[in-house]
Structure 1
């Protein structure tokens, strides 16, 4: 996942903020990936709007944990294209039970 992030990515999640791919990787990227891999997800909407060298992605899903808790997840990403490669420059996750 780290290879998908720009080096100076901003990640907003759960009231916190991380300001680089390295900061996110050293804090809780692996635990996020492990948690997400345990979820059952139903995609409700995924909309991507591409501009010249940038794009926005809005993803809305309903996720169910192994314990049976269900919540709605919203994810907004801003991507930038550099040297023909798309990288995530900003990522914001929020959830509602």
Structure 2
């Protein structure tokens, strides 16, 4: 049986958040790749088929620009679920 793996980069402080959940029913992310997917230039695609920047840039924008979080659950053969949490209010000192 396939085992679900979760990657959560940080704990969010208490507060009100907008939560966006994106799911698919694709191949899932291999457990050995899960810890690398937010690294710049990481890709499992063939050379010339991708830059490996999509998730890295997404993580940066969500975390650094908006003070949110991006986490993923994935089960090989069953798909992945990405969860974006964005604070409804942001402390101006973080801007």
Q: Same fold (TM over 0.5)?
A: no
Bigger relative contact order (CA 8 A; separation at least 6)? 2
When normalised by structure 2's length, the TM-score is: 0.28
When normalised by structure 1's length, the TM-score is: 0.28
Which structure: greater strand fraction? 1
